[in-house]
Structure 1
Amino acid sequence: MTQVTVCITNEERSSERLDTFLSKRISILSRSSLNRMIKAECVLVDGKTPKPAQKLKAGQTVVVNLPPPPGNDMPPEDIPLAVIHEDEDVIVINKQSDLVVHPCPTAPNGTLVNALAWHFMHRSSGSLSQVGAENARPGIVHRLDRNTTGVMVAAKTEFAHWSLYEQFALRSTRKRYIALVHGEVVEDSGLIDLPISRHPYDPIKGGKASQTGFVVRERYEGFTLVELKLFTGRTHQIRVHLSHLRHPIVGDEVYGGRKLKLLIERQALHSCLLSFSHPTSGKRMSFSGAAPEDMARTIRLLREFRMVSSGGGGGGEAEVDLSVVFGEEALEREEAS
């Protein structure tokens, strides 16, 4: 581990929270990663184990034991994967929750990259593109947050990697998300046009231009199911934008959401549709992924006991087939048999 020592001088602001203080000085780690490090006792204040919210004082010394950066050696790990499509160039999966996409200082293993390495070795053939391998991101052309579920694509060859990378950069891919949010959204559809930054407690302050389109799909008492389209790709963009509208995502405690105990205890955000041009053939390909059971079960219960309206009047703007996302077709077949 690398040890970093910071002495708090009289010139620095007093009464600043420890996690805020560290997030401004250790930019390579996210605030959530730093919080996990504090809770794991990798941070000391005057030789004692602190809490993330501890207020600092002038004259104190903060010692941070940084974990080593992830290396190029990413061992295969037998982690279940839901593979939607695979060929010689790409692999498309429906990512589960609690799965980090690539190794990082706070998650050096147990990631999607490790799982894909095992998959290619034992169930398929080929390997991830080595583009990005020096940063522990081989084959990764886009990401989903740890607890965001849904459709992702990874590249198996360098040519495919650069082709997909360009498509994501030029916004020629098509991505749609479904989110369950707190409150009943009034507008049937709209565009959230607010800048986003990496400021630890004000992600709107001094940020870059960011746009998210939304369409209401279903309203329930106290909740709304919305379909979302990204026009830009900022970190946590959907989560920040919905929180700013005072309709945070259910389960997203970082941005003001609340868990629904015994139903869903992580952010109810699912990447349900991804479309891109195949790197080799040029053929347009579209993939849909069913939502995991915790989110599907929550929606079924809301429909049964709290349904207000179906369809927000967004007309042709809605593109997601909810019967695919929430498995209604399979459920109907099961009930009929």
Structure 2
Amino acid sequence: MDQTNETSTDFILLGLFPGFRHSTLLILIILLIYTTAFAGNSVLIVLIWLDSRLHTPMYFLLSQLSVIDLAYISSTVPKTAANYFKGKKSISYFACAAQMFFFLTLGLAECILLTLMAYDRYVAVCNPLRYAVLMSPKFCVQMAAAVWTGAALAALVHTIYPMHFPICGSREINHYFCEMPAILRMSCVDTSVYEMVKFVSTIVFLLVPFILILASYTLIFLTVLRMNSHKGRSKALATCSSHLTVVSLYFGQAIFIYMAPTSSHTPEQEQVGAVLGTIVTPMLNPLIYSLRNKEVVGALRKCMGRCCHSENCLFLQRGAQKCSLLSFKGVHNQPKP
């Protein structure tokens, strides 16, 4: 690759698993996953917006999760695919910083949002009589605003700090996007102080939310076991199991990458974790929440029924107009006596 036109501040993204032989097949699979994730999350957002039965706190938070997943996967995959097909691997300093900022903002927002979703399920199952008061529409909007604001502020700190470390030698990033551990690995100064700051932040934004989620579901399961209604017990367990599946997928890879020191895992391991968190999980989230949720499936069927009914009505209306026009022509074309 000709790098003569690149400035001294540009980075070189080596791409997704640069040593993999069948890179074209890998990119096509990633694009297929991206298309599935984009379509699934978009449909989920539209369904929640259109169906009044889904205008509840749980589905409001779910729509926020879908927005995060849409932006999350779009912050990395399009750039990776464009670099591969264009044969251009460079990314400017400011583009790298912007990508890191949005990636961290969305990642931190998802951590907090999953915790709030666990709290929502805790209130719904353990304190159903106070649910309308504790999870009012105003409080839900305030929670969403706090999620985005807190995540953006924390991401800003963790973008400015590592991007100011001096880089010695090669500016090649052994990753498919600008991620914090990959940037830290290129630094030629001691980053132990920042590693400690990163560790503390990880405890606040990853470990504490994960513990709160586990505590919420422990209380939920204890409450569910005391339920007399088999139908209510099954519904509560189905909803909670979907959320726990998402939590285990997302928090598992995030804790592995960010809680351990950067030198304790290889770039390949970081890429595997990043693929699970930023590509696979956004695709699975709408599938898990829709296929295992009767209300979402019902809303989808209702929406599809309306669309089919509208198309049939339009087809019949056009057919009636055509028949009327042919009849009109036939009357005027009859021979006069």
**Shorter-chain TM-score above 0.5:** no
More strand by share: 1
**Structure of greater relative contact order (alpha carbons < 8 Å, 6+ residues apart):** 2
More helix by share: 2
Which band: TM-score by shorter chain? under 0.3
